[in-house]
Chains A and B, each alone.
Chain A
Amino acid sequence: MHELNWKLRRSALLCLACSLIFGAACGASADTHAFYAAAIWSGQGEAIDNGVMVVTDGKIAEVGVRGKVKVPAAAVTHELGEVTLMPGMVIAQTSMGGSFGSDPYSISPEVRAVDGFDPFDDYERLLAAGITCVQVSPSGSKLVAGQGGVVRLGAEPGEHIVIDTDSLLINLNANEFRPASIYEPPVGAVSVDRPLEPTRPQLATSLSQARVGLEALFAEAAVSADSEDLGLSALASLLSDRTPVRWDVRNNAESNTALALSKQFKLSWILVDPVEVDAIAKPSVCQSPQMRGIIVNPELSPGRINNPAVPREGSKKPTPVWTRVKQLIDAGAGERIALHAATDSELQQLLFTSSILGRSGISKTQILSMLTANPARILGVEKQVGSLQPGCFADFVAMSGTNLNGRVLATYSGGRSVYERGEADSPKTTTSYTIHAASVYTPNGIVENASVGVADGKISGIGSEISSRPDAIIKDYSGAVIVPGMFDCGVSVGTGGTAPSVTLGSNVETYLARDDSQVALARQGGVTTALLSSSRAPGPVMAFKLTDQPRVLKDPVAIRFSIRGNLTAAEETFRKTLTSGKAYADAWTAYDAKYAEYQKELKVYEEAKKKYDAAKKAAEDKKKAEEAKKKADEAKKTEASKAGTPTPEKKESGDKPTPKPVPTPAPKPEVKKEDTPEKKDVGTGKKEPAKDEKAKEGEAAKATPELKEPKKPTAPKKPRASSTMEPYRGLFGGTLAAMVEISDSKAADVVVKLFRKEFKIKTAVVASSVAAEKSKLLRDNDVFVVVGPGLVGTSEGKLVNYPAELAVTGVPFGFQSRANTGVQELPNAISYAVFQGLGRGDALQALTTSPIEFFGLEKIGSLAEGNDADLVILSGSPLELSTEVLAVMIDGKWVYEKEQ
C-alpha cells in the first residue's frame, strides 16, 4: 500500500490518471447516453452532419454519423435537434486560482493555484458561456508566481482537478512583477521553535535584474534537488519533471528574455499575452520543439470602448491582434495558439469576441480550435478535454444552428447537463405579457401611463385599463416609454457575416443564419425589422425581423439597383434592363388578360356543353315515345278488325279514323314527359302543356340544327417564364419597389426620368446628401428616400441635416444603418440629427410607419391591436441620447433585456 502510494507521488500524471480512472469508476454510475444532433464538430476539421455521440460513465465512447455508429441498447437517448455539438471551451489561462493572501514572497514556485481554486463556487455564468475547463494560475504581482493547474468547471467537486501542475508562471511583464515587500518576521522573542524567518532573496526591479536573478535561481535549483528550501526544492522538481514555464510577456524585449532563458535551461515554454510578436513570429521559434503554446487575448470587450493611443512619431503603430495571430499561424504556430480573456465578463463573451480574428481571414473552425483543441494541447490534457474524441470527458456544448455561429443553448460536463438556456430567451415559448409604462406611442397619439397587452406574439390591447390574461406576466416599467419596434432600411446583419450575393429570382432568405450572435447585438438598439439586400445589383431585397430565427416578412420586397459611373451610359443600360423587364412584364400581363378571356369562354363553353347533352337525351326520349305510339295503334287496328259488322255509332267512330288519333296520342307522350329528368319547370308544365309543347318543340328545333359538339376554346400561349425576370412583374405591377442607390445629384434626375416618368415604378432612392439637394424634385415625383448612415454633413462649410431637409420639403423617407452589430447605433445617429433640428415626430415616423407603408408591409411599425408585438422600452423619450433601451420585444418575445 505504502509502496504503491510512494510510486504514485513520483509522477503527478500517473497519479492523476489513476485518480481519474478511479473517480470515473466509482463516481458516475455505469450508464450510457446517446446524444443525437444535427451536427457534431469534434474540435478539428469539418463538422459531422446528423451525428451521434455515445457517452459512457461521463466519457465519450464513440462519435459518428447517425446510423453508422452502433448505440448500445441500454443507452439513454437525447434528441438535441437543430444544434451543433462542440467541445466545451478550454481556457488556457485564468487567474481563478484565487490570490495570495498576505504571502510575502516574490518567488513562490512551490504554490499550486489549484489549492486556491474553490470547486464549490458558482460557475454557472462561465458554463453558460460554454466554458467547461480552465487553467488556473496564481494571481498577484510576483516574479515567480507559482504552479498553474487545470480544472473542470462542471465536474463534481473533488473530481474537478485534471492536473495539479501544467506549468510554472513567471511574470516578465513589467506591470506584473514588482519588488516584493520585505518580510517582517513575527514579533516576539526568537526561540528554538520560533526562529526568525529570513527574507527571501529580492530579485527583480527591472527586466535585466529579473533575468539575472532567474538565471541564478534556475542554476541553483538545478543542483539543489533535495534542498530544505521550499521554493528551491519545488523549482528543482519542476525542472526535473520538465514542467513548461509560462512566461507572461508583453513586448519584444520580454519575449526575447523568455525565449533566451528557456533556451538556456532547456525549458519548454508558453507565452502569454504578447502584444509584439516580431520576436516570436518566426518558423525557428514557432516550430521549435520547446514551444508549447502562445496564448492570446482578443483584446476586445463589447460594451467597453477603449481609445487607442495616437502613435508617437517614429514609434511603429501596434499591429492588431488578428494580424498578429495570422503572422503566428503563418510562422507555423497554428496548432498551438489559444485564446483567453482577462476578466470574468470578457470570458463570457469570448465565443463572440474571438470571431474578430476572422478579419485576417482565419476560418471559424480555426478560431474555435483555439478555444478547444489547441488550449488542451498546450496544457497537455488533450487526451481528457478539448475535443469530442473517444476517451475524452463528455464535456460539450450544444450550439444553436448548424453554422458554427450560434449561441450556447446547453452545456454538459461528464455527460450531465450543467447549464440549459432558460426559457426566458429560448426561441420556442411565447408567453403573454402586460407591460406598463409612463407613456406609449400609438398611431393615434401618445397615451400617458398606459399598458400594452401582448399575447401569442401579437398586441392584444393598449390602454390604461386593459385587462391582462390570467397567465400574463406583469412587467412594470414605470417611468419608461414604449415605442414601436424600429425599421432599418438597409442592414448587413443576419447572415453571420457573409454578404448575401444572389441574383434576381433567388431569395436572400437562404443566406439567413439562425441564432446569429450579431443579430443579438444589432437589435439591442431597438431596431426590430430590417431590409437586407443582395450585394448584386440588380438584386433582390428582403424584409425580415431580427429574431433568433430571423423571420422573413417579404422576399423580395424590392429590387436593388445602383447607378454609378458614366450616367449617360448607365441611363441607357438601365433603360434596356427596364424595357426588357417591362416587355417581360407586359407579355405576362397581356397573357394574363388573354388567359382571363379564355377562362370566360371556357365557362360559356361548359354551359353550352351541358345544354347540348341535355338536348341529346331529350331527343332520344322522343324517339322512344314515337315507337311506343306506333305499337299502340297497331294494337287498336287488330282489335277493330276482330269486331264483325260495325254499329252506326261504331260506324261514326269508324267514319273518320284518321284525323282523330292526332289529339289522342298527345297525352301519352305528355305523361311520359312528366318523368323526364332534365325537365326544368314542372309546375308551369302542368299549367299550360301547350306552351310546354312549344318549348319542347323549340328545344328540339335548337338541338336538331347543331348536333355536332360546341367548339372548346383554346388556351392562350404562355410567354417564356424566367425566374430572374419574375421580380419585374412585381415591379411594374406596383407590388415591388425599386431601391436605387445613387451617389450624385444628376443620378437623381436620371432616376426620376427613368423610373418615375418613363416606367412609373414605385421608387426609392438610397442617398443622403444628394437626396437633401434634390428633395423638391423627389417630392414632386413622389420618390421615397432611404437616408443614412451619414445623416448630418456639411456642404460649402455649412452644416446640412439631410433628414431634416427631407422632412421640411415633405419627402417621405426612412433610415438605414448599413451596419451589422452597429444597427444598434442607428437610434443614436438619428438622435444627433434630431439634436440638429430634425423633428422627433418625423424621425419616429421615418423609423416606423413611412418606410413600412412604402414597402407595403403589414402588421408592424405601430402599436395597434392585432399588430405584431414588436416594441422597444426606453428609459426616457425616444431619440434622446440620454435615453437608454431597457428592453426589446419581437413577436411577443423579449430578445433583449438590460440586466439590472
Chain B
Amino acid sequence: MRFATLRTQCLTRLSCIALCLVAANVASAAGPLAIQNAKIITVSGEIIEKGTILIRDGIIEAVGENVEVPGEALVIDGEGKVVMPGFIDAHNSAGMSQANEQNSVVPFLSVVDSIDPIANYFEECRRNGITSAAVVPGNSTLIGGKAAIVKTAGQYVNDMIVRRDSALKISLRPVSGSRMSHLARLRKELDKAVKEVENEKEADKKEVAKKDDKGAEKKPEANKEDDSQDGEKADPKAAAKPATASATPTAPTAADEGMKALMAVVQGEMPAYLYCEQAMDVPSALKLVKDYNLKPIFVLGQRCHKAAKLLSDQGQAVILDPTLVYWETNPRTREDEKVIIPQIYREAMVPFIFQVSGASTRGTVGSSYFWYQAATAVKHGTSEKDALAALTIEPAKLLGIDKLVGSIEVGKEADLVILTGEPLDITTWVEHTIVGGEVVYDRTEDEKLQRLLAPKAE
C-alpha cells in the first residue's frame, strides 16, 4: 500500500520533471548545451575559476575559460555556480526491488531484472547530483548475482544501463551457519568454475573447427552431471533440471548462466564485489583473490578498519561503510574509543570511496549525502581534492567507467552537477543535474523539495 503511494508519488514527480524539461525547453539531445561563467571543478585537471562547458550530443565538446559558444546552443548561466562531474554511487541495493534472494548461491541472477526506474532512490540521486550508480545485490548472500551500472535518469531500464553484468556480488558474511562452511561452499563454487574453464580449454584445443556441435554436445554432458549429483548442490543443477527438461537444447540454463558468470570471474574478466563484514574476512578475501585470480572490489563493514593495513598494496580504492565515525568500548580494557574510519584508512594509505545507502548511525543528519560523507572525511584530515575525487573519478575508476565519466574532460559523457556554491558548504544545493547532456533535475521545479523546505498547514 505504502509502496503504491510511493509509486504514484514518483510518477507525478517524474511527469512534472518531464513537463519542466519541455517548459524550459532545456537540453534535448538535439541541440548543443552550454554552461557559462561557472567555476568548473574538472577533478581531472585544474579548477577553472570562470569557464564554459560546451556539450553536444551528450558529450563534452569543449571546456575552458574562453570557449566559442555556437548561437544555436542553449545556455545555462553559471554565474556564481560551481560545476562538477556527476557523483557516482559505486555500491547500493536501493535501486532494485529486493536486495537478496533467499537462496544464497545465485550467480545466474542479474539486478537488471529488478531495477525500478521510478524507484524513489533514483529521484533522490538526481536531487543530490548522483548521475551514475552501480546497483548491486545485497550483503546477505554468498554469491548474490550480477550487478549493473546505470545512469540515474531514464524511463526504462534499458535507457539507463551503462554496463550489464558489471560485476558479481560475493559476500563473506555467513548467511546461516559458520564462516567455515560459508567459505568452503564458496570455494567449491569457484573450484567448479575453474575446472569448467580447464575443460573448455581442452575442448577448444581438441576441436577448433566444430563450434556449433560443441554447443550441442555440451548440453547432455551437463545433464549427466545433474544426474550424478546427490542434490545437495542447490542452484545450478536444480535450476538446470526444468530448464533442460522444457527448453530447447540451445536455450541456456540457469546452470550455464551461473557458470558463465563464475568462469568470467575466475578468469578475471568480471570483477567481484567482495563484502567483508569483520576484519577477519579481509585476509580470507585477499587469499581468495590470490588463489582464484579474482578482480576484487572491496566493500568493507565498519569493523574492517583493523585490517586496513592489508589493503594498502591493492592499488585501488575500497568502499567504506556509510557510518564513518563511531564509538566502541574495548572489551578487555573497557576503554572508550572513537573510531574515525576515514582517518584510519588515510593513515594506512588506502584510498577509499563512500556509501550512502543504509546509513544507520544514531541520528546522523547527513550520512545519506555524498557531499556530507566527503565533508566528514575532510573534517578528519583528508584533503578536499581527494574527497571530491572520491565522489567522482575514484568510483569511476573502481567501476571501470572512468573512460566515460567521472571528470569533466573533452570527449567524456556530459554527466554534470551544477551546484549553487562550494561543494562542501552546508548551504550549497544542487541546482541542475545533467545526465548525458540532458538536464534531468532542476531545483526550481522540485516541488517535493519546496514542500519540505516551506511546510504549510494543509
Contact = CB atoms under 8 A, between A and B. Distances in A.
| A–B: direct contact at CB < 8 Å | yes
A697 interface: no
Contacts of A160: 283
Contact of A138 (B180, B228, B230, B268): B180
B180 A230 contact: no
B366 interface: no
Question: Which of A98, A115, A158 gathers the greatest number of chain B CB atoms within 10 Å?
Answer: A115
B268 to A, nearest CB: 7
Contacts of B268: 1-2
A103 B178 contact: yes
Interface residues of B, number: 59
B334 to A, nearest CB: 13
B381 to A, nearest CB: 24
A223 B309 CA distance: 44
A157 to B, nearest CB: 6
A200 interface: yes
B103 A193 contact: yes
Interface in A85-130: 97-105, 108, 110-113, 115-122
Given A19-B290, A157-B307, A108 B184 contact: yes
B9 to A, nearest CB: 31
Interface stretch (A3-11, A510-518, A777-785): A3-11
Nearest to B238: A195
A122 B330 CA distance: 11
B291 A103 contact: no
Nearest to A121: B280
Nearest to A12: B291
A564 B108 CA distance: 92
Given A2-B293, A229-B229, A111 B286 contact: no
Question: Which of B108, B232, B241 gathers the greatest number of chain A CB atoms within 10 Å?
Answer: B232
Question: Which of B103, B307, B309, B332 gathers the greatest number of chain A CB atoms within 10 Å?
Answer: B103
Question: Which of B174, B181, B229, B242 gathers the greatest number of chain A CB atoms within 10 Å?
Answer: B181
A18 to B, nearest CB: 9
B214 to A, nearest CB: 20
A192 B239 contact: yes
Interface in B201-236: 225, 228-235
Given A195-B234, A228-B232, A102 B332 contact: no
Question: Which of A2, A97, A121 gathers the greatest number of chain B CB atoms within 10 Å?
Answer: A2
Contacts of A9: 191, 194, 291-292
Contact of A116 (B180, B195, B229, B231): B180
B102 A188 contact: yes
B304 to A, nearest CB: 10
Contacts of A156: 309
A5 B230 contact: no
A215 interface: no
Contact of A103 (B181, B232, B267, B280): B181
A233 interface: yes
B198 interface: yes
A151 to B, nearest CB: 11
Interface string B402-420: 0000000000000000000
A241 interface: no
Contacts of A105: 181
Contact of A230 (B101, B184, B254): B184
Given A103-B177, A160-B283, 9 more contacts: A1-B268, A2-B267, A5-B292, A98-B180, A100-B177, A115-B284, A122-B332, A157-B279, A233-B188
Interface of B: 101-103, 106, 108-109, 174, 176-185, 188, 191, 194-195, 197-198, 225, 228-235, 237-239, 241-243, 254, 267-268, 278-280, 282-284, 286-287, 290-293, 306-307, 309-310, 313, 332
Interface of A: 1-2, 5-6, 8-9, 15, 19, 26, 97-105, 108, 110-113, 115-122, 138, 146, 156-158, 160-161, 186, 188, 192-195, 197-198, 200, 226-234
18 contacts: A1-B293, A108-B180, A110-B188, A116-B180, A117-B280, A118-B280, A119-B280, A146-B184, A157-B283, A157-B307, A158-B310, A193-B234, A194-B102, A194-B103, A197-B234, A226-B195, A227-B230, A229-B229
User: 5 nearest interchain CB pairs?
Assistant: A111-B180, A228-B229, A195-B238, A110-B184, A118-B280
